[in-house]
Amino acid sequence: MASKRIAQSSINWSALAERVPADQKGSLAAFKIKSDGYLRRVLANPPEPPKINWTLYKQTVPIPGMVDSFQKQYEALKIPYPADTLTSKIDAQWAEVKRAIEQFIQESNANIATCEKEIQHIQAQLPYSQMTMEDFRDAHPELALDPINKPTFWPHNPEEQMDYVDPDKPAQAAH
């Protein structure tokens, strides 16, 4: 009576196993065993309900009309195959995930290009072991010491300078 008979599993288990993390392989194996068991139980039953010999029952059942009533009800019984209402939702979610993946790939490629340019810039520089202080100042003006324009005290970190204000401490009111 069903409009569609399941003949075999439509799950590609090997492709699914490739995507499952190693710590969840046991759960996937348990799920596959349950799925295969369900498929075996479905395939063990015939696709159509068994035929009933109604004439035999009409001859043996003494109540008139009872077998005819049962026959009419049995033949009217239609067990519908469940309608697929989730495939469209899953396809919509997959399309959304694909867009997110494509966006991530584009952002990653842009980051890769930026990093490769930075690597090329660093490789084009003189190695630090061969730099003089002037070469370092030219390569990294924001990091180099500038005793004329920005004089600092040793060890030349922000905490040791005279105008340093600790950002973690609340500002004290002037007296």
Q: Are 120 and 155 in a shared domain?
A: no
Q: Are 112 and 95 in a shared domain?
A: yes
Q: Which residue reads 């190693």 in tokens?
A: 22
Q: Write down the pLDDT at residue 76.
A: 87
Q: Are 101 and 139 in a shared domain?
A: no
Q: How many domains would you assign to the chain?
A: 3
Q: Are 43 and 11 in a shared domain?
A: yes
Q: Write down the pLDDT at residue 23.
A: 94
Q: Are 107 and 131 in a shared domain?
A: no
pTM of the model: 0.43
C-alpha span between 107 and 104 (Å, rounded): 5
C-alpha span between 40 and 38 (Å, rounded): 5
Q: Is residue 73 part of a domain?
A: no
Q: Is residue 57 part of a domain?
A: no
Q: Is residue 165 part of a domain?
A: no
Q: Write down the pLDDT at residue 97.
A: 96
CA angle 109, 110, 111 (to 5 degrees): 90
Long-range contacts of 93-98 (CB under 8 A, 24+ apart): none
Q: Write down the pLDDT at residue 16.
A: 87
Q: Is residue 26 part of a domain?
A: yes
Show the domain range for 26.
Answer: 1-49
Q: Is residue 83 part of a domain?
A: no
* Closest CA relative to residue 157, chosen from 145, 173, 141: 145
Q: Is residue 37 part of a domain?
A: yes
Q: Write down the pLDDT at residue 164.
A: 85
Longest dimension (CA), the chain: 120
Mean pLDDT by 10 residues, the chain (175 residues): 60 88 93 90 82 87 88 85 87 96 97 96 90 89 82 82 84 62
| CA distances for 155 relative to 76, 117, 139, 151, 158, angstroms | 94, 33, 21, 12, 9
Q: Write down the pLDDT at residue 80.
A: 81
Q: Is residue 108 part of a domain?
A: yes
Q: Write down the pLDDT at residue 2.
A: 43
Q: Are 44 and 7 in a shared domain?
A: yes
Q: Is residue 63 part of a domain?
A: no
Long-range contacts of 11-16 (CB under 8 A, 24+ apart): 11/35
